[in-house]
A = this chain, B = another copy of it.
Amino acid sequence: MKKITLVDQINLNEVYSWLQDPAAGGINLFIGNVRNHAQGKAVVKLEFEGYKPMALREMEKLAAAAMEKWPIKKLLMVHALGSKQIGEPVVVIGTATAHRKDAFEASRFLIDELKNKVPIWKKEYFADQTVWVNAHP
């Protein structure tokens, strides 16, 4: 079973409830937060923009690839869009599997691939400038 969404705000209680599965011995959750610094400078806030329909399609493809590779009971990918303050969760990857090894490997695969392929863009706001992350060499 999988759940893939783009939201304004991530609710971690809902995430955990949804991942519960009596047949799953292990749940791995990766939560990406807004860090308070980047390249040694203070980040004031972040903004995420997404090409929503394509982002959802790419996330669905990654989920399908993971479910083919690992025996996953439940898989969840949620990304927040819009303006985010320091410490707010911006992305959650969750997998529930019978054996913990699979949950660790699948979550790691999903967040790594999400960061490579899903058309979502992060803009960091520093006190003196803004930067679109990864855009320039």
Using a CB–CB distance below 8 Å, which chain A residues touch chain B? Answer: 12-13, 16, 20-33, 35-37, 86-87, 98, 100, 103-104, 107-108, 111
Contact = CB atoms under 8 A, between A and B. Distances in A.
> How many copies, total?
2
Contacts of A25: 32-33, 35
B33 A24 contact: yes
B103 A30 contact: yes
A86 to B, nearest CB: 5
Nearest to A111: B100
Given A20-B33, A35-B98, A104-B108, A28 B26 contact: no
Contacts of A36: 22-23
Contact of A31 (B22, B26, B35, B87): B26
A103 B93 CA distance: 13
Contact of A13 (B13, B21, B23, B30): B13
